[in-house]
């Protein structure tokens, strides 16, 4: 077992816990940030969000759209000063799209409540990287790779698109539901779980790697 990951995860969990304790009501910082890009079906998409709540849904056509809001405990707080000017950063080269924000360290995001929503069109591969937070993915048309340090991951995808699913968490719970057939796995001594499913007839692989938290995947028709 790699103890560097364990220590890193514990630090993230502790700082995340501290972030929600404040004496001021949260206020929105700046306007809603938006981005709209046209991409081809064979594009590989890399999304990197440090921390927050991320929702990813499908988008018709070739338009990738995203919107982002951030709240801090008080408009004059240190959090608000750090998050002022928050915006998306993107680059595309050889049909490889990379998207993140200009506040890409965990400590820049400390005490901030970030909410991001992506509308993703059909693409070759979607890679998602997060440090901490919650991730919801709903019926996108792409092969999927997710790496997260701490949080909860909830994925709904069409079974017909999937060839295989690999889910792994070092500390937490893992569940897979394929058209009503449930599979829950945990390792001995309550130190995480792993699920490997390779009975699909589609062409895509799903790989989800979470250090600490819960993974829930539902494959339906």
Question: Can you spell out the DSSP letters for 82-128?
Answer: HHTT--EEEEEETTEEEEEES--STTTTTT-EEEEEEEE-S-SEEEE
What gap in Å lies between CA 57 and CA 142, rounded to an integer? 11
Residue in the structure block whose two tokens are 């500390």: 171
Using CB atoms within 10 A of its CB, is residue 123 exposed (0-12), middle (13-18) or buried (19+)? buried
| Number of structural domains in the chain | 1
Query: Would you state the pLDDT for residue 187?
Result: 56
Range of the domain at 179: 3-220
**pLDDT level of residue 188 (50, 70, 90 thresholds):** low
For 124-132, what is the mean pLDDT?
Answer: 95
What gap in Å lies between CA 47 and CA 147, rounded to an integer? 11
**pLDDT level of residue 4 (50, 70, 90 thresholds):** very low
CB neighbours of 94 closer than 8 A, spacing ≥ 6? none
The kind and range of the H/E element at 14 are helix 3-19
For 94-108, what is the mean pLDDT?
Answer: 87
* Six-digit token string for 213: 């938290």
Direct distance between the N- and C-terminal alpha carbons of the chain, in angstroms, rounded to an integer: 37
Query: Would you state the pLDDT for residue 11?
Result: 42
| pLDDT above 70: percentage of residues in the chain | 86
Flag whether pLDDT at 137 surpasses 50. Answer: yes
Most confident segment among 17-31, 82-96, 149-163: 149-163
User: Bigger pLDDT: 188 or 105?
Assistant: 105
Q: What is the pLDDT of residues 30-76, one digit of tens each?
A: 899 999 999 988 999 999 999 999 999 999 888 999 999 999 998 88
**Cα separations in angstroms, 77 against 19, 73, 142:** 13, 7, 40
Query: Would you state the pLDDT for residue 8?
Result: 47
């Amino acid at each position: 077992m790699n103890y560097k990951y364990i220590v890193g995860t514990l630090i993230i969990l502790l700082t995340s816990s501290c972030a929600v304790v404040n004496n001021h009501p949260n206020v929105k910082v700046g306007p809603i940030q938006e981005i709209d890009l046209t991409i081809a079906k064979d594009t590989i998409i890399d999304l990197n969000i440090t921390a927050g709540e991320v929702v990813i849904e499908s988008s018709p056509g070739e338009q990738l759209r995203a919107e982002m809001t951030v709240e801090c405990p008080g408009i004059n707080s240190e959090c608000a000063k750090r998050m002022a000017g928050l915006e998306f950063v993107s680059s595309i080269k050889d049909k490889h799209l990379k998207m993140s924000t200009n506040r890409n360290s965990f400590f820049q995001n400390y005490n901030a409540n970030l909410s991001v929503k992506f509308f993703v069109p059909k693409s070759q591969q979607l890679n998602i990287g997060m440090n901490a937070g919650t991730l919801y993915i709903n019926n996108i048309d792409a092969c999927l790779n997710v790496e997260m340090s701490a949080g909860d991951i909830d994925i709904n995808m069409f079974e017909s698109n999937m060839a295989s699913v690999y889910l792994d968490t070092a500390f937490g719970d893992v569940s897979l539901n394929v058209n009503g057939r449930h599979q829950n796995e945990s390792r001995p001594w309550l130190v995480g779980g792993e699920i490997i499913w390779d009975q699909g007839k589609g062409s895509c692989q799903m790989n989800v790697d979470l250090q600490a938290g819960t993974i829930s995947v539902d494959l339906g028709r």
